[in-house]
Every structure is written in C-alpha cells, then in structure tokens.
Amino acid sequence: MTQPPLLTDREALARHRIRARGLPGHDDALFLHRLAFDDLQERLSEVNRRFTAPAVVSGSPEIFVDWAAKVVPDADRIALEPGAHDLVVHFMALHWANDPVGQLVQCRRALQPDGLCLVVLPAGRSLQELRAALAEAEAAVTGGLSPRVVPMGEIRDLGALIQRAGFALPVADSVVQTVEYSSFPALLSDLRAAGETNALQSRLRCFTRRAVLAEAARIYAGSYSTPAGRLTATAELVVLTGWAPHESQQQPLRPGSAKARLADALGVPEKPLKDG
C-alpha cells in the first residue's frame, strides 16, 4: 500500500523552533500561544475534577514551565505510556501533524478511562490574509504557485477528527482574534520568532525572491490595512474536547425510545407529514 505524501518536514520544523528560541522577539511572538494557554487554564478550572497525572504534547514546552506535567514533543510517535494520564493536552501543534487522527488516537491511548483530552490549534481562517497575498504575488511575479502556509482545517472537519479518534462526548469550538502589525516584515518576523515559518515537505528549497515579497507586501497593504495604516491578520484558535470512553459517561438513547412527544413538550399541535 502506498503511503500518502507527508505534509511536514519534521527536521525543518525542529530547526525553525530551535532557531526561534534564540531570537530576541521569541517571547513576544508567542502571544497567541499564551492566549491559548490562558483559555486552556480557564476551561480546566470549570471542570469539576482534580487532575493528578497530566501530560502535554507541544512544540512550545516553555509555555508549560510552571505546570507539574509530563511535557513531550509533538513527534509522529508521541512518547506517552498507554493509560498513564488523566489529562492530555495537545497544544498548538496539530496543524503540523502528518497524521492528525493518529496523533489524537495516541492521546486517547495515553489516557486512563474517563480521562480528558484538550486539543488547541490554529485553524481555518488563521493567516488567511497572508495566504492570499503570497499566492497573488507569486502568481504575478513567477507565473506559478508553491506551498507557503501550512493548510489549516475548518472547525467542522476538526471536530470530526476527534470523533474518528474514538473519543466520547466530543466538542469543538473556536475563538477568532484579529492582530495588527506595523508592517509586512513585522508580521513575517513574528512568525519566524514563533517557529511557525514554512516547514512544508513540498515547499520550494530556495529563498523567496525579493520581488515576490515586495509584491506581497504591496497587496497586503492594499487589501488588509486599517485606516491608520496598520496591517490586520486573522488568528482562529480551535479547541477540541474529548473524553476517553468509560461506562459511567452518559450515553445517547436508542432511536424510538422516547416516552414523550416533542410536540407536547413545546406545547404545539402535531402535524403529520403529507405523503408525496
């Protein structure tokens, strides 16, 4: 059986992350990670449970330096023992996964029965402006297109992934943020400092031509700027929630097992459907 082509060059991604940690603006560039982390903390505070064996899967371990948790990288094979944890957090990394369902299955296997999995990742509308500007610029300058921004799933598709991975009580929701930059180079600098530059397996293995970047900057400023001249960038964070199956969890009723009519509950007359 032939294997599907890989999405991510994991060696390049690792290099980008290591380089990013040495850049002066690294901490500031992780503002979306910290926003996601704050949201994660709030969600966990609303769960009526004390987690004693948490684990984190992430390419940004510095975010969890104050957590008493096992932190492992988002490798193709996640270094977590089966059934060892009551909480697994997959944090800001699933968009780079070569096998997203496989990542989630590994997270589920690492959970104890009735353990919680929280997955946070950029998705859908994230960097839609940059993607459009680069594509238009490259087509205009070179007459072709090359992969430059990692594709990001829509919330409906991502919600289906956690169901496919075998989690119970799956939920998917999203938060959209608009970020402003002083210039196009400032946006690219932030992505570099966050370790989020192009690590696609099918990327061009050469530097981007200056003419392409200049045209992209012109298009971006013309299409996605505020009245004050700042550039806007969209970031959509999707959170997936699922539980390792357990017999104590609520189960859906069998079709046809209801003991009351919906019309009675709503206080409206029931109208039978017409044939044909």
CB 231 within 8 A of CB 187: yes
Residue 263 lies in a domain: no
For residue 109, count other CB atoms closer than 10 A to its CB.
17
Amino acid at 153: G
Residue 233 lies in a domain: yes
H or E element, residue 176: strand 168-181
**How many structural domains are present in the chain?**
1
CA-wise closest residue to 173 among 101, 239, 87: 239
The pLDDT score that the predictor gives to residue 248 is 76
Counting Cβ atoms within 10 Å, is residue 194 exposed (0-12), middle (13-18) or buried (19+)?
Answer: buried
Per-residue pLDDT of the chain (276 residues; tens, 9 = 90+): 456 789 999 999 999 999 999 999 999 999 999 999 999 999 999 998 999 999 999 999 999 999 999 999 999 999 999 999 999 999 999 999 999 999 999 999 999 999 999 999 999 999 999 999 999 999 999 999 999 999 899 999 999 999 999 999 999 999 999 999 999 999 999 999 999 999 999 998 888 999 999 999 999 999 999 999 999 999 999 999 999 997 776 665 555 555 666 566 566 676 665 655
DSSP H helices in the chain: 10-21, 26-29, 31-45, 100-110, 128-142, 155-164, 184-193, 210-223, 262-266
The pLDDT score that the predictor gives to residue 247 is 77
CA-wise closest residue to 237 among 149, 155, 118: 155
Residue 274 lies in a domain: no
pTM of the model: 0.87
Residue 273 lies in a domain: no
The pLDDT score that the predictor gives to residue 1 is 47
- CATH code at 230? 3.40.50.150
Residue-number span of the structural domain to which 218 is assigned = 10-247
3-class secondary-structure state, position 219: helix
- What distance in Å separates the CA atoms of residue 77 and residue 70, rounded to the nearest whole number? 15
The pLDDT score that the predictor gives to residue 246 is 78
The pLDDT score that the predictor gives to residue 275 is 56
Residue 33 lies in a domain: yes
* DSSP letter (8 states) at residue 275: P
Residue 264 lies in a domain: no
Residue 154 lies in a domain: yes
Please report how many Cα atoms fall inside a 13 Å half-sphere around the Cα of residue 116, on the Cβ side.
19
Residue 56 lies in a domain: yes
The pLDDT score that the predictor gives to residue 181 is 97
Bridge pairing between strands 168-181 and 231-243: antiparallel
Amino acid at 201: Q
Tokens 């294997």 sit on residue? 3
